[in-house]
Structure 1
Amino acid sequence: MEALFWCCLTFGALMAIVTLVFGDHLGGASDGLFGWLSIDVHHLFQPVVLSGGVTVFGGAGLLLRRYSGWPASGVYAVSLAFAAAVGVGMYFLYVKPMESSENSTGYSIVELAGKRAEVLTPIPSKGYGEVLVRVGAGNTSHIAASFDGEEVPSGTPVVVVEVKDGTLYVSRMD
């Protein structure tokens, strides 16, 4: 019995170290591993949650075996309950908030339709200029043409009406 708890404690601690170093890769692998589940429970099987649960199971089992007079079945049950509680707690207090805070800077140019922009380089009535568009947490500049066929001076706030052939067609904001 103690050998099982020592193995879980050691394996959990080693798994925590490996998760610290290779966490992103292991998280993606666990998504694919549990993708067959039709419910959204597979997120509970994140490596950090598993390593925490296994470690707590081993540590709680060792402490309960040594300092309580409970029979083996009671020690297993309480250790498993502690491990489940810590795993669920880690998921809801650490993993879930971190998943919500992830931010991507990737975007598609077609997503810019409807966005506000500012003209950097004046746009002639029948030519091209440049606009600055705020995307996510940053700014990006793109080639632009006038949607209405009128000249737009620099510094003018505009809205992207259409995206065609890599060019943003803009119109003045009224």
Structure 2
Amino acid sequence: MEAVFWGCLIGGALYAIISALLGDLIGHALGGILDFLSLDGHPWLNPTTLVGGITAFGGAGLLLAHYTALGLAAVFILALAGGVVIGGSGYFLYVKPMSESENSVALSEKDLSGKIAEVITAIPSKGYGEVLVKAGAGYTNQIAASFDGDDIPGGSRVVVVEVKDNTLYVSKLDPY
């Protein structure tokens, strides 16, 4: 049984080293053939969780076999429980939070409706100019046209009324 524990421990350690050094290269070479490991119905079935649990099973089995007087069955059951706990902890403490924290820096123009902007290039009554809009933590320049058909000089504060055909239609913001 010791050979099984050593195999799990060494195999898991080698997997971790190889995937850290060559993970992207291997993933591209295999062309997604291992994507079945992260099925939509079972997100805990991914290599990080599985290999972490198998490695913990091997390490716990070795430690329990050498440093306790427990029988083989008890060592196996406790090592299996340790592997499940470590694999599950890896899923809930690392894999799940990382998958939920994925953020996109993409900007959706539809989200700009109602935002306040500043005109940086004057907007003629029948033409286009440019506005600076705060989007998230930064600012973005966008093409703008007058919603009301009025000239809007540079430096004016405007509100985005609608977004259509990649153009922000803005109206001059009157101060109270």
TM range (shorter): 0.7 to 0.9
**Correspondence for 1:129:** 129
**Correspondence for 1:77:** 77
1:165 counterpart letter in structure 2: D
Q: Secondary structure, in 3 states, of the residue corresponding to 2:131?
A: strand
Q: CA 1:19/1:138 → structure 2, altered by over 3 Å: closer, same or farther?
A: farther
Aligned pair count reads: 168
**Correspondence for 1:62:** 62
Q: Is the 8 A contact 1:30 1:46 kept in 2?
A: no
Distance in 1 of aligned mates of 2:159 and 2:81: 57
**Aligned CA-pair RMSD:** 2.5
TM-score, normalization by structure 2: 0.80
Q: CA deviation at 1:36?
A: 5.5
**Correspondence for 2:145:** 145
Distance in 2 of aligned mates of 1:84 and 1:31: 22
Is 2:93 the partner of 1:89? no
Cα deviation digits, residues 134-161 of structure 1 (max 9, x gap): 3334322111001011222223332222
2:39 counterpart letter in structure 1: G
**Correspondence for 2:112:** 112
Which range moves more in the overlay, 75-84 or 151-160?
Answer: 151-160
1:54 counterpart letter in structure 2: I
1:6 counterpart letter in structure 2: W
TM-score, normalization by structure 1: 0.81
2:39 aligned to which of 35, 39, 42:
35
Distance in 1 of aligned mates of 2:18 and 2:141: 41
Aligned-residue identity in percent: 55
Q: Is the 8 A contact 2:37 2:46 kept in 1?
A: no
Distance in 2 of aligned mates of 1:20 and 1:137: 32
* Runs ≥4 residues deviating over 4 A: 28-32
Distance in 1 of aligned mates of 2:50 and 2:156: 54
